[in-house]
Chain A
């Protein structure tokens, strides 16, 4: 899976979290802050991590990765993990 594929998947899963809770999908930029800009609360972030585990087959945070604030950094956490 390429870095672009991972980024696309992360964006899709974020938008699924938004849409499932009645919010509109958005175009994500790397510098978007997941909480303030995107509007995800702590439970949304939990749903996101589980959703990404389903889509990408890994949960870097269970393995010890530190939480990250932005969309771009979140993509990188998964890109780096999948590159291992």
Chain B
């Protein structure tokens, strides 16, 4: 496997925001992208037309274990391999924990953490067969730094880091690498909910003086898929303009 070899990549939440930027970056690098999220967007419709042999969109509920099984199985049967999985789908409900609803807590745990574990299990099976693969979990600097009002979200993103480190140890012997990318605060739909004062506070704490963009983060996925990252596993790559130093 090397940087110029087209890879088959399953990407969750690839219809908008950071996931869209990751999908665009992977397509530009020549990879095949199989993405899944709840509903189509202008981007997924456009990508399916512009890259008919390179892009697939599957509408599914990522909380449905059987659907995740079918996604991995179908991809392997069609392409004969799954080279990489990017667990990117996530939701965030902002608000103090004392007033949080059960359903919102459960949705964050299910979508951000449990679905990532389940889909990793499904894809790891096929990666083990090929003794080759890359799993990238999209966490957040909130996992390590904390942010008032996002405690459950932080728990799910920190959970992904613990999951990554143990899975990297488990699968390393079979040449399967597992890493985390941990973006800082990005200009996406998810950060649109930030108040002006929250936004100003983030920018003030960031040495590079701005919020990140999805395009600051997406190339790291291609890098971690490439040969250049062949000796990197179990790591957290932080892309945050220095805000966490």
> Is the A/B pair a real complex?
yes
A residues within 8 Å of B by Cβ?
20, 43, 46-47, 49-51, 53-54
A53 / chain B contacts, CB cutoff of 8 Å: 125
18 residue pairs of the A-B complex, CB under 8 angstroms, read A20-B131, A43-B128, A43-B171, A43-B173, A43-B174, A46-B124, A46-B125, A47-B128, A47-B129, A47-B174, A49-B125, A50-B125, A50-B126, A50-B128, A50-B129, A51-B129, A53-B125, A54-B129
Bound Cα distance from A46 to B125, whole angstroms: 7
The 5 closest A-B pairs by CB, nearest first: A50-B125, A47-B128, A50-B129, A46-B128, A43-B174
Within 8 A of A (CB), among B109-160: 124-126, 128-129, 131
- 18 extra interface residue pairs, beta carbon distance < 8 Å, beyond A20-B131, A46-B128: A43-B128, A43-B170, A43-B171, A43-B173, A43-B174, A46-B124, A46-B125, A47-B128, A47-B129, A47-B174, A49-B125, A50-B125, A50-B126, A50-B128, A50-B129, A51-B129, A53-B125, A54-B129
A20 / chain B contacts, CB cutoff of 8 Å: 131
Name the interface size band of chain B: 10 to 19
Q: Which residue of A lies closest to B131 (CB)?
A: A20
Bound Cα distance from A50 to B123, whole angstroms: 11
A75 to chain B, nearest CB (A): 20
Q: B-side binding surface: helix, strand, loop or mixed?
A: helix
Q: A-side binding surface: helix, strand, loop or mixed?
A: helix
Bound Cα distance from A52 to B146, whole angstroms: 45
Q: Which residue of B lies closest to A54 (CB)?
A: B129
Within 8 A of A (CB), among B64-89: none
Bound Cα distance from A45 to B152, whole angstroms: 36
Q: Which residue of B lies closest to A42 (CB)?
A: B170
Q: Which residue of A lies closest to B171 (CB)?
A: A43
Within 8 A of A (CB), among B146-200: 170-171, 173-174
B126 / chain A contacts, CB cutoff of 8 Å: 50
B84 to chain A, nearest CB (A): 17
Q: Which residue of A lies closest to B126 (CB)?
A: A50
B173 / chain A contacts, CB cutoff of 8 Å: 43
A50 / chain B contacts, CB cutoff of 8 Å: 125-126, 128-129
B131 / chain A contacts, CB cutoff of 8 Å: 20
B126 to chain A, nearest CB (A): 7
A43 / chain B contacts, CB cutoff of 8 Å: 128, 170-171, 173-174
Q: With a 10 A CB-CB cut-off, give which of B124, B126, B128, B131 has the most chain A CB atoms.
A: B128
Bound Cα distance from A49 to B170, whole angstroms: 17
A8 to chain B, nearest CB (A): 20
Q: Which residue of A lies closest to B125 (CB)?
A: A50
Bound Cα distance from A53 to B131, whole angstroms: 17
Q: With a 10 A CB-CB cut-off, give which of B124, B125, B126 has the most chain A CB atoms.
A: B125
A35 to chain B, nearest CB (A): 16
